[in-house]
Amino acid sequence: MQDDAGFYAPLQYQSHWLWLGLFLMLLVAGWYVWVLRPARTETPTRSATSVPGLDALRAACLAAIDATASDTDAGRIPERDAHQRLSYLVREFAQAASGLPATSMTLEELRHQGLDELAAGIAGIYPNEFAPVQVQSMHHSAEAARRVVRAWN
């Protein structure tokens, strides 16, 4: 028996599906543009008048650096730990003084924010933190940390 239902042409899509598809593609493209946009960076404003108690903060950091050097000389902490502590103290001081998250920023990010002296000081401490053999003495790194803190304005 032959099927005589006839021939039905394919159904045509309605135009609202086309517009909905284009809208969704535009929405996805906009989302990618928003996600991949360059991050905004603000130049820090660092001055003695912008941070209340900068002298007290500087004095506290210098005291902590001296205490770290004393603890290392007395053998209470290993030199590698002391170098790591110095790096953290200087970063913590910069974070408190500038308001930037200096404790979690890379050297390149610090330089990009205009904190070149801080980045240079920390870069001088890095070899002692990560090298298998000490490159410089603890006192050399402590003096580098003191220079960074004293030079901050």
Q: Which of 13-27, 97-111, 128-142 has the lowest mean pLDDT?
A: 128-142
Kindly tell me if the per-residue pLDDT of 51 is higher than 70: no
Tens-digit pLDDT profile for residues 75-92: 899 888 888 899 899 999
Q: Which two tokens stand for residue 22?
A: 């284009």
Predicted confidence band of residue 49 (pLDDT cuts 50, 70, 90) = very low
Domain extent listing, the chain: 54-151
CA atoms of 42 and 50, how far apart (whole Å): 16
Residue 100 near residue 113, CB atoms below 8 Å: yes
- The three-point CA angle 59-62-68 to 5° equals 140
| The amino acid at 101 | P
CA atoms of 49 and 45, how far apart (whole Å): 10
Average pLDDT of 62-75?
92
